[in-house]
Structure 1
Amino acid sequence: MIRVTDTGQPIPDIEIEPIVGGYDPDPLEHGEGIGLWEVQTIIEAHGGRLSVRENSLERTVIEIALPRARQQDE
């Protein structure tokens, strides 16, 4: 598990809604930056999950869980 904690500005609701709501966002309506829904799409494509644990003026905490890689025979 990877946990990212930031004490900057909270993530705008428009960026979080697709993650917690489980729907595809309108590409014409988005916040700044790469977009958490794009990050979530990449993580889910690899069998992982992205979750927003805390999003306040004091602190934002995002968790990323990815499955362990399978060991390949040489």
Structure 2
Amino acid sequence: KAEPHLLKSHFLPLMEKLRKRAESVLLEEEHLKTEGRGDVSEQELDIQERFIVLVQDIYAFYPLLIPFIDLH
């Protein structure tokens, strides 16, 4: 059952973690762009893998919010 206290205890901390991971991936990508040295294909693959996992986590998270939003 979705109750209001779940927003603070469960959803907001998870959203904060997702936001921090998104910022981390973005900063790493920006750093790679500004660095622009030599062969960066391995680093690009690492960033791409981290981005894929981030998107999967976001897609898994939002359906959890639907019962909460529907009830409140």
TM range (shorter): under 0.3
TM-score between both structures, scaled by the size of structure 2: 0.27
**Richer in helix (by share):** 2
Question: Larger strand proportion, structure 1 or 2?
Answer: 1
Structure of greater relative contact order (alpha carbons < 8 Å, 6+ residues apart): 2
Return the index of the structure with the highest Cα Rg. Answer: 2
